Amino acid sequence: MAVLEIRKYPDRILREKTSPVNDFGPSLQRLIDDMIETMYAAPGVGLAANQVGVPKQVMVVDVSTKQQDAPLIVIINPQIVLAEGESASEEGCLSLPDYTTVVKRAERVKVRGLDRHGREIEVEGEGLLARALQHEIDHLNGKLLIDRISRLKREWFKKRYLRQTQQREVVKS
């Protein structure tokens, strides 16, 4: 297993819709294991394959650091089949380091997909799990949390992020 590089905004792959997975062979298993290790090392509660440069519909989620008795979840080709309620809560993203903002999402979701071996699964979540599932599925569809905030907040983010990136480059020189 290996810790992979997490792609940061504005990397183009974060804006691309990912492709469905049809091959559940050793390369997929290795990708899943590497994604899990990368998510824990970051640390984060979820990770989508395009965040590590692979445009495939693969995501991992583990909210056990925030909620008791929550299992590690691996979902291939996920689809939200039910969304209920609404809540607004602060979110961050491994691809947008040092940035958090309040985002409205469904309070409860049901997601269908495949497990790492190609078997059909259904995951129901509420609260943080629902939020994490929706966040990672957004990634797989080429959306970032900044796409869920007002245009004014998004423009402010872009200016601030660009300024911080330029400052980091000056420090590295």
User: Computed over its alpha carbons, how large is the radius of gyration of the chain?
Assistant: 16
Active site residue 136: yes
Q: Which member of 84, 90, 107, 136 is catalytic?
A: 136
Determine the Cα–Cα distance for residues 44 and 20; give it in Å rounded to an integer: 24
**Using omega within 30 degrees of 0 as the cis cutoff, is the peptide bond preceding 20 cis?**
no
pLDDT of residue 169: 66
- pLDDT tens readout for residues 37-54: 999 999 999 999 999 999
Instruction: Answer for the pair 88, 130: CB distance below 8 angstroms, yes or no.
Output: no
Give the residues of the chain that fall short of pLDDT 70.
66-68, 168-173
- pLDDT tens readout for residues 86-110: 999 999 999 998 889 999 999 999 9
* Calculated CA dihedral for residues 32, 38, 44, 48, nearest 10 degrees: -40
Strand order in the sheet with 46-48: 46-48, 58-61, 73-84, 108-114, 120-126
- Domains of the chain plus CATH, in order, are 12-172 (3.90.45.10)
Provide the pairing of β-strand 73-84 with 108-114: antiparallel
Determine the Cα–Cα distance for residues 107 and 11; give it in Å rounded to an integer: 29
